Each structure stands twice: as C-alpha cells, then as structure tokens.
Structure 1
C-alpha cells in the first residue's frame, strides 16, 4: 500500500461543548492528538490544523464545515481526516488510527 499524507482537522471552540462537560477542551484535544499520532506513526508526516468554529479561517471549505458544526449542533471537537468525520465530542484514538491506516500509515509500535 502506498503512503498518502493526510490532513487532520480539529474543529472546536474555546468554550466547551455543553454536552462535553468534564472532557478536555478542543484545543487540548488538538494538542493530545498531535502528540499521539506522532508517537504512533513516527517519521510519517501529516498536517494537523485547529479550526475555531467561531472564528473560521478564510479557506471556504473549512469555514463551511465550521458553520456546519454549529448549525448541526455537532459535539465538538469534531475530528476530520481528509473530509471524513472520524470523531465527535470525545474522539477515540483507535478510530483515528484506523482511518490513518487506510492512507498507508504504519504503526511502529
């Protein structure tokens, strides 16, 4: 299988999701995912981006999805890998790892 570099997007907000009390903040989840993916798949590059749903970037695709998170009342953070939602509210590493493996990422554990 060939390797394809992916983009992991973490959509969230500074204020915790009302249904996500006692869970890490969106920014904490972003930091945690960045470290966890780097450990699981060392020397396999990926891009990870944090997008504040209340202050979306000028990138129209990301801004539209940020608006969708709000309109559809998704539990955030919402983790998206190459346009596929892989986690919402309390994302699971196993699910995220499985999605990365579809793109040729190999665990070195």
Structure 2
C-alpha cells in the first residue's frame, strides 16, 4: 500500500486559549509540526496548514471552527481527514501513529 497524502490542519487563533497560556501558539505549533514531519518523513508529501478559527477560508473549516468555539476545545487542535488527533498540547507520537496508518514510512 502506498502513501495516502494527508493534509494536516492546525486549528487555533492568534490569542492562546485560557488553559494553554504557557504552551506554544497555534502558529508556532504549525511550524514545529511541519519541521518535525519533514524530518521524520523526508521526501514524503505532507501539508501542514494553520486555520484561524475566527477567519476560516472555506465552509468545511468554518463548520469545524464553529465547533471549536462552541465546544470550547483547547487549541491548537490537530486534525487529519476530519479526525481530531490532538487537542491543546499535541504529542508527536500520536500524530506519527496516524501518519503511518496512511502509509508514511519513517526515514530516521
């Protein structure tokens, strides 16, 4: 089985959520996650994209962003193919596990 290319969405906002004040911002998490995945899955296609919950760009993002706000979820929220993989402080181990379910192979 080959790789099913995934787009990882990191939902969040400029302002950190109240419970996440001491954690990296959603944008910082997006940059950190991009770098970690590029190292782990070198030369394998993967897109990590930040989505501002107060300014989503399409209808799917808008619906999920409203859910984040209404349910008071802790952001950043890492989503792969519509599934929440991490909320608040994401763990790479959890994200790697999902990536490998889609056929990604570690290059380390």
Gaps of 5+ in 1: none
SS of equivalent residue, structure 2 residue 16:
coil
**CA positional deviation for 1:46:** 1.0
Q: Structure 1: how far apart are the matches of 2:47 and 2:34? A: 9
Q: TM-score, normalised by structure 1?
A: 0.96
Partner of 2:36: 36
**CA positional deviation for 1:27:** 0.5
Q: Does 1:104 align with 2:106?
A: no
Q: TM-score, normalised by structure 2?
A: 0.97
SS of equivalent residue, structure 1 residue 14:
coil
* RMSD across aligned positions (CA): 0.7
Runs of 4+ in 1 over 6 A off after TM superposition: none
Written as runs of structure 1 = structure 2, the 5 A alignment for 1:86-105 is: 86-105=85-104
Written as runs of structure 1 = structure 2, the 5 A alignment for 1:1-109 is: 1-57=1-57, 59-109=58-108
